[in-house]
Amino acid sequence: MELEFFKLLGHIQMKLTESNVKASFDNMKGHLAEHDVTAEFVDIDYNYYGHTELMGPVVTFKSNKPDMDWYVQVSVEKDFPMLVGVIRVS
């Protein structure tokens, strides 16, 4: 799996693609496993609407328990700062 990057204001960032987000989830599997938590990438919604207005892109994921949702959110948002959010779905 080859990661895709782009340059924004002089900083290199990963492109928001399915393969890159899956790689981000793979990178955190070891830490989550230490806490008996699994997290699985579900989808990228590039046109997330909050209430009635377009907010921007979000990543959705599934988890076996909510204990480490904050860790998943922070880790993914660190890799993809352009995200509006990282949302757990059931």
Q: How many residues does this entry show for the chain? A: 90
Cα 88 from chain centroid (whole Å): 10
Global model pTM greater than 0.75:
yes
Tokens for 63, please give them.
């988890």
* Residue ranges covered by each domain of the chain: 5-88
pLDDT tens per residue across span 28-84? 999 999 999 999 999 999 888 877 777 889 999 999 989 899 999 999 999 998 899
Given pLDDT bands bounded at 50, 70 and 90, which one contains residue 19? Answer: very high
| Tokens coding 64 | 């076996």
DSSP result, 16-73 = --HHHHHHHHHHHHHHHHTTT--EEEEEEEEEEEETTEEEEEEEEEEES-GGGHHHHH
CATH 2.40.50.140 fits 5-88, yes or no: no
